[in-house]
Structures are given as structure tokens and as C-alpha cells.
Amino acid sequence: MSVTKLELRTALGPVYRDVLPYQPRDCTPDEIPVIDLEPMFSSELSDRKKVSSAIKAAAVNNGFFYIKNHGIPAETIARCKGQVLNFMRQPFETKDSIQSHKYSKYFNGYLGRRKAQVSPSETADVRESFTFRYSPELDPDHPKDISEVPDEIRPWIQGEDFVWEGTEHLPDFKSDLVAYWSGCLKLARKLVRMFALSLDLEEDYWDSKVTHPGAETQEEIKKEFVGLGSHTDLQLFTLLWQDNVGGLQVLTQEGQWIKAPPIEGTLVVNIGDYMMRLCNDIYKSTVHRVTNESTQERVSMPLFFGLNFNCVEGVVPSCTSESNPAKYEPISCGDWCQMRFKMEAKDFAKNESKKLIAPSAVIVAG
Ligand SMILES: O=C(O)CCC(=O)C(=O)O
Ligand SMILES: [Fe+2]
């Protein structure tokens, strides 16, 4: 049996995973379960614990699950998706006027096809994306004025206005995107409590650390095969809405690609690298990719959710013992993310410059 090696980028350098030589197959309900969030909204702790134990079972297995009854109205999702299409269907020059590489300090804005490569083993990503990040004035739960943001957090606020200024001509674009983002952010703040419970921590363990979190959405549209190469996500967890086209695949611990098809009315949740680190590797940040085999364009809308970027966190107490000491030093969620973003951007620029040199090299050699 010929196993292939897949190289992945992490904040700490490359890691390698074995992949079995079999075609991707459909997932089973055990591999990526559907978790009903209805009991999460109950005032009974015993109800909420039902949700947290289902999350734990999924998190130690493949680190992926669907959630239903999540409370984000279908109308909010549909309006946001419509706006993603309105934006993406504009002429390239209009989109490129808010290009991330040119105008953003923090990777916000538009990124065109093949302008990034998340996986060093695969091709550049053919997705187009529009990204915006947490800004206090958009927060549905907390004071909105930047002057009220604590001093130690303010330098980590990474929302940028140019993304909204360059889309003002699209009616309701900002309000529709922010409505979806706010729904996801409120939901993520509830889910982080379920994660705390699932780790035998107090339910409010992270509450004071997600007041101004790394909360970023990256509306994406993918038209060709390797939409987005193999990678893990970075922060605590990701909430992902995908349309009905399909194409998301997840790599099991055994090295088999399984398909995570769209299920009407659900979002997908997956664990990120920072959560895996805080859990001493008990919860799995799982490799995934998107291959759009259809001829249709595919829209997905992830929210990447983490702690306030200034929070320096180590392994949580419930995940260590005398025989299983902490494997990782504390690090801030912001530093953790910046390390990988920078590495990805640097590698991409290096490869681009190689491509620029290559044509003349070929002529000389020929
Ligand atoms: O489009 C998808 O289904 C997944 C997107 C994703 O994995 C990401 O943006 O990190
Ligand atoms: Fe991802």
C-alpha cells in the first residue's frame, strides 16, 4: 500500500501526515456527527452538559461536527450569501481596488484566484475571498467605541475600514455581512462555554477572554478543483456555512479523506490549532481541504473564532496530569496567528518571485 506524505504548514514549521491511497469517501454519522444545539439554550445545566459531552466526543475523534438549531436565521445567511455573489460578480478591477496584499496590514480585503497557497504540497488556491476582522463598533454584545477597549487589547484590533469604503456602492453589503458575522460571533461566544464545560472547566472559563476576540470571516467562492488546499485552521474553532454544492473534505486520523457534504440548516464546526494546543492535543485540529468537482461556483462563509489576541494562554489545567504534563508553553492567540499568516505570505511571495525568474531561465537552458 503506497502511503503519500502531505506537508502542512503550522505556526511552528512544517508537519507531515500520511494519506492512504484511496479515493475520498462519504463520511459516516459517527465520523462527523450532527449535534443538536437546542439544549445549549436551556437554563438547566444538565441540558447544556448534553451538548458539551457530544462536542467532546466529536472533538477527540475527527475534530469536526455539524450543528443544527444554531439560532442564526436562514434569512440572515441567505442575504449574506447574496451579497457575497454581488461582490464576487463585479469586474476584477473593482474587487482588486480593495486587494488584501496591497491595502491591508492584517490580511483583510479581497484576494483573487491563485493569490495564496495554504498548502505547500498542492497548487495555489483558486478560491476568491473577502475577509474582514473583529472591530468593536460591529460587536453585538459589548461597548462599541474603540476608546472603551482596554489598553492592552487596543493594539490587537485588526478591523480595517477600507473594506467597507471600497464596497459602499453595493446596497446593504456591509449590514448584511455584519448581520451574519454578528450571528456567528454571538453563537461562538455560547459555543466556547460548551467547550469549557466539555473540558471540565467552569462554563465561564473563557468568557472574559472573548470580549474582543480574533473573529474573522472570510466569505469565499470557489470555482475549480483545488479550491483550497489541505490545511488546519488556526484559532479555537471555526463556524462554517457552506452552500449546497459540496466539496469539503476532512482527513481522518487514519489518513483517509472523507467528504463532509452540505446538510440543510446546519453549520460545520471544526477545532483549530490553538484549541488543540490548549487541550494538550486531546482535541484534534483536523486537516481539511475543498475540491469543487462540480461546474457550479461554490460559496462558503467561515467565521474563525479565537481568544482576545492579547490573551496569553497555556494548556488548561484539566488537560494535564502528573503522567501527562503540558507539552506547550503559553503563547498569545494573536502571536500564534501572526506567526502562521506571515509564514504563508512569505512562502507565497518567494514562490511568485521564483515564477518570475523561471521563464528566462528556461530560454537560456533551451
Ligand atoms: O469552504 C469550505 O468549506 C472550507 C473553508 C476553509 O476551510 C477555510 O477557509 O479555512
Ligand atoms: Fe479551514
Distance 130 CA to ligand 2 centre (A): 15
Average pLDDT of span 319-346 = 89
Distance 232 CA to ligand 2 centre (A): 6
Task: Answer yes or no: is pLDDT of 44 > 50.
Answer: yes
Confidence of residue 353 (pLDDT cuts 50, 70, 90): low
Tell which atom from ligand 1 comes closest to the C-alpha of 288. Answer: 7
Q: How many domains does the chain have?
A: 1
Ligand closest to Cα of 267 equals 1
Distance 225 CA to ligand 1 centre (A): 14
HEC letters along the chain: CCCEEEEEEECCEEEEEEECCCCCEECCCCCCCEEECHHHHCCCHHHHHHHHHHHHHHHHCCCEEEEECCCCCHHHHHHHHHHHHHHHCCCHHHHHCCEHHHHCCCCCEEECCCCCCCCCCCCCCCCEEEEEECCHHHCCCCCCCHHHCCCCCHHHCCCCCHHHHCCCCCCCHHHHHHHHHHHHHHHHHHHHHHHHHHCCCCCCCCHHHCCCEEEEEEEEEECCCEEEEEECCCCCEEEEEECCCCCEEEECCCCCEEECCCCCCCEEEEECHHHHHHCCCCCCCCCEEEECCCCCCEEEEEEEEEEECCCEECCCHHHCECCECCCCCCEEHHHHHHHHHHHHHHHHHHHHHHHHHHHHHHHHHC
Distance 302 CA to ligand 1 centre (A): 6
Cβ of residue 233 lying under 6 Å from some atom of ligand 1: yes
Task: Answer yes or no: is pLDDT of 335 > 70.
Answer: yes
Q: What would the pLDDT profile of 79-133 be if each residue is shown by its tens digit?
A: 999 999 999 999 999 999 999 999 999 989 999 888 888 888 888 888 899 999 9
Residue 59: its pLDDT value, please? 97
Cβ of residue 300 lying under 6 Å from some atom of ligand 1: yes
Q: How far apart are CA 234 and CA 105, in angstroms?
A: 18
Task: Answer yes or no: is pLDDT of 360 > 50.
Answer: no
This prediction's pTM: 0.92
Closest C-alpha to ligand 1, atom 9:
302
Closest CA to 98 of 111, 86, 89: 111
| Measured CA distances, 220 to 90, 206, 228, 302 (Å) | 14, 29, 10, 8
Give residue 170's Cα distance to chain centre. 26
Closest C-alpha to ligand 1, atom 1:
300
Confidence of residue 363 (pLDDT cuts 50, 70, 90): very low
Distance 8 CA to ligand 2 centre (A): 12
Cβ of residue 236 lying under 6 Å from some atom of ligand 1: no
Q: How far apart are CA 17 and CA 1, in angstroms?
A: 15
Confidence of residue 361 (pLDDT cuts 50, 70, 90): very low
Tell which atom from ligand 1 comes closest to the C-alpha of 302. Answer: 9
- Beta-carbon contacts of 282 under 8 Å, excluding residues fewer than 6 positions away, are 59, 60, 319
Residue 118: its pLDDT value, please? 83
What is the ipTM for the molecules in this complex? 0.98
Confidence of residue 259 (pLDDT cuts 50, 70, 90): very high
- Beta-carbon contacts of 366 under 8 Å, excluding residues fewer than 6 positions away, are none
Widest pairwise Cα distance in the chain: 74
Residue 351: its pLDDT value, please? 66
Average pLDDT of span 45-54 = 98
Cβ of residue 302 lying under 6 Å from some atom of ligand 1: yes
Cβ of residue 163 lying under 6 Å from some atom of ligand 1: no
Average pLDDT of span 199-220 = 95
Distance 238 CA to ligand 1 centre (A): 9
Cβ of residue 219 lying under 6 Å from some atom of ligand 1: no
Q: What would the pLDDT profile of 2-28 be if each residue is shown by its tens digit?
A: 899 999 988 888 889 899 999 999 999
Distance 357 CA to ligand 1 centre (A): 32
* Mean pLDDT over each residue of the chain, to the nearest integer: 91
CATH of the domain at 353: 2.60.120.330
Q: Which of 238, 287, 337 to mutate to test the pocket of ligand 1 (most atoms within 8 A of CB)?
A: 238
Residue 14: its pLDDT value, please? 87
| Measured CA distances, 161 to 106, 233, 334 (Å) | 12, 25, 20
Under a CB-based contact definition with an 8 Å cutoff, are residues 242 and 268 in contact?
yes
Residue 125: its pLDDT value, please? 85
Give residue 217's Cα distance to chain centre. 8
Residue 225: its pLDDT value, please? 64
Average pLDDT of span 123-148 = 90
Residue 117: its pLDDT value, please? 83
* Grid cell at residue 174: 456591509
Residue 362: its pLDDT value, please? 32
Q: Which of 118, 248, 267, 344 to mutate to test the pocket of ligand 1 (most atoms within 8 A of CB)?
A: 248
Domain that holds residue 207: 4-365
Cell match 438549531: residue? 69
* Grid cell at residue 323: 503522567
Residue 39: its pLDDT value, please? 98
Distance 78 CA to ligand 2 centre (A): 21
Confidence of residue 301 (pLDDT cuts 50, 70, 90): very high
Task: Answer yes or no: is pLDDT of 70 > 70.
Answer: yes
- Among the ranges given (126-135, 147-156, 284-293, 354-363), the one the predictor scored with the smallest mean pLDDT: 354-363
Q: How far apart are CA 64 and CA 283, in angstroms?
A: 10
